[in-house]
Structure 1
């Protein structure tokens, strides 16, 4: 397996790009790349040429996360302004604006059915679940274990929730925290099953395997990537190679590879059968905040793609084979 450079868009935004995802292909069009920047905008990019297809504005501070509905028609963005904006990918129309408390909206992800948007709750030490039919807050899942002997300020210390990930079957929801622990929830019961331990610094990104609902990958400032059995609360393996914080991780659609981005300015490709890094890409000139494999689907689309974004304001697109 390898990555081969296809396209670079320099100065794709006017400031650092911190967020990236793909809006899946629909009957009317192919997949669109969605990027969010500290310049307060969300941009849409079409095809392997990465031609700009639209821009969504409305945030008053930098965009820190984007998510795409599995239908490919809806996207969401979160910002340091404490709002989550929901918009139509095709018309750019704003569908809803969800208000949160300050520092309580970070990374987010739609479940595979598209019925729920999970938003990392930051300082609330929780994950917020929004119903996508009415854009109503349905539940708040706390990552804290109840312990009457622990005072509130002590309980919340370090449990700033940064990122979320759904298992492919929708039964498990994982969230990562500033102290390095990862909470795993049984969604149907709204119950915290356990805390995965092993990282000793913030876990800024995590993703479930697209082929095994138990397997979870985490990326941390401790320079390590970990592979867990999230259902059974066990570590499968730990992988290292980056020279600094690992800021982002994504799994390839067929489940055989990982891509990671780091503050060491590199992107690494990992072969999961070998559990080792097999390629290091050095095209970015600043830290890499996001990596995203394109989902399968779309007329005439055969080859895999990986998009990466960085503080250097550029987008890189790679052929993945």
Structure 2
């Protein structure tokens, strides 16, 4: 697989861009790129042209994360203002605004069926779950306070001391992973709402994770410790560890065919990793500041012949790449 730069849009926002995702194509339009910025806005862009389609406002502090419903018609954003805003992608109309306690709304992701929106709960040490049918909060998933000896979880489940940064759903919706400031990744049985175990190996914050779209057992994590890890979440084993970035690794995403990874780092680069070779095959240096988020375009849409990858940065730019 190879990747090449298509376009770098400078000054796409008025401040650092921290979040990017794709709203999947619908019957009426192609996929849209969604970005969230410290300038408090969420912007929607037409795919290959990076032409601004519309701007969504309403947050009173910087936007931390954006997520798209699998239908492509609904999206959500979280902000340092502790609100989750849910809006219609095509009309920009607000569907609902969900309020959390201070510092309890970080990275977010819809489950594969679009029935649950998971929100990393920050200082609460939990994952908040909102039912998308009625936008009511379900019972949150709480991290264990400590691990007992021999790898068994303690019976006392308290979020004390665990700051939850990111969440990731397995492609079948049966597993939910959440990561913490101390580098531990917790795995939950999402169907039963039950804590299963933790994955260890990182020594610093894990800010982003992604499950393989072709193997529900495989989870990829990235950390401030500069490493990318590949885990088997069922056996709790570390399959492989990748290194190469010169600084914090801030974001990861997996290509739709499951053959490669993209990572963004505070070393100002985007790296492409071949999962068969388990090695970096390309380094892209389109950005002049740290890269906060990367996202592959989901498959689907009329006339789509090549893949797309997007990255966003503190330099206020969006970079768009083609991969084949």
Pair in the same fold by TM > 0.5 = yes
After TM superposition, list the pairs within 5 Å mapping 1:222-241 onto structure 2: 222-241=225-244
Listed as ranges, the gaps of 5+ residues in structure 1 are none
After TM superposition, list the pairs within 5 Å mapping 1:214-253 onto structure 2: 214-253=217-256
- Tell me how far apart the structure 2 counterparts of residues 276 and 127 of structure 1 sit (CA, whole Å): 32
Superposition TM-score, scaled by structure 1 size: 0.97
- Tell me how far apart the structure 2 counterparts of residues 228 and 15 of structure 1 sit (CA, whole Å): 35
- Kindly provide the CA deviation profile for residues 89-135 of structure 1, in whole angstroms up to 9, marking residues without a partner as x: 00000000000000000001001100000000000000011000111
Give yes or no for the alignment of 1:21 onto 2:21. Answer: yes
After TM superposition, list the pairs within 5 Å mapping 1:278-289 onto structure 2: 278-289=281-292
Superposition TM-score, scaled by structure 2 size: 0.96
Give yes or no for the alignment of 1:101 onto 2:101. Answer: yes
Identify the match of residue 276 of structure 2 among 254, 260, 273: 273
Specify whether residues 147 and 203 from structure 1 end up closer, same or farther in structure 2 by C-alpha distance, changes over 3 A only.
closer
Q: How many angstroms does 1:146 deviate by?
A: 7.2
After TM superposition, list the pairs within 5 Å mapping 1:1-321 onto structure 2: 1-145=1-145, 156-157=160-161, 159-321=162-324
Bigger Cα displacement from structure 2, 61-70 vs 231-240: 231-240
- Kindly provide the CA deviation profile for residues 166-217 of structure 1, in whole angstroms up to 9, marking residues without a partner as x: 0000000000100000000001111110010000000000000000000000
Give every structure 1 segment of 4 or more consecutive aligned residues whose post-TM-superposition deviation is greater than 3 Å: 145-148
- Tell me how far apart the structure 2 counterparts of residues 3 and 156 of structure 1 sit (CA, whole Å): 43
Listed as ranges, the gaps of 5+ residues in structure 2 are 149-153
- Tell me how far apart the structure 2 counterparts of residues 217 and 308 of structure 1 sit (CA, whole Å): 18
- Tell me how far apart the structure 1 counterparts of residues 234 and 195 of structure 2 sit (CA, whole Å): 11
- Tell me how far apart the structure 1 counterparts of residues 319 and 248 of structure 2 sit (CA, whole Å): 20
Q: How many angstroms does 1:156 deviate by?
A: 1.7
- Tell me how far apart the structure 2 counterparts of residues 190 and 227 of structure 1 sit (CA, whole Å): 24
Describe the SS at the equivalent of 2:139.
Answer: strand
- Kindly provide the CA deviation profile for residues 207-228 of structure 1, in whole angstroms up to 9, marking residues without a partner as x: 0000000000000000000000
Q: How many angstroms does 1:47 deviate by?
A: 2.4
How many residue pairs were aligned?
317
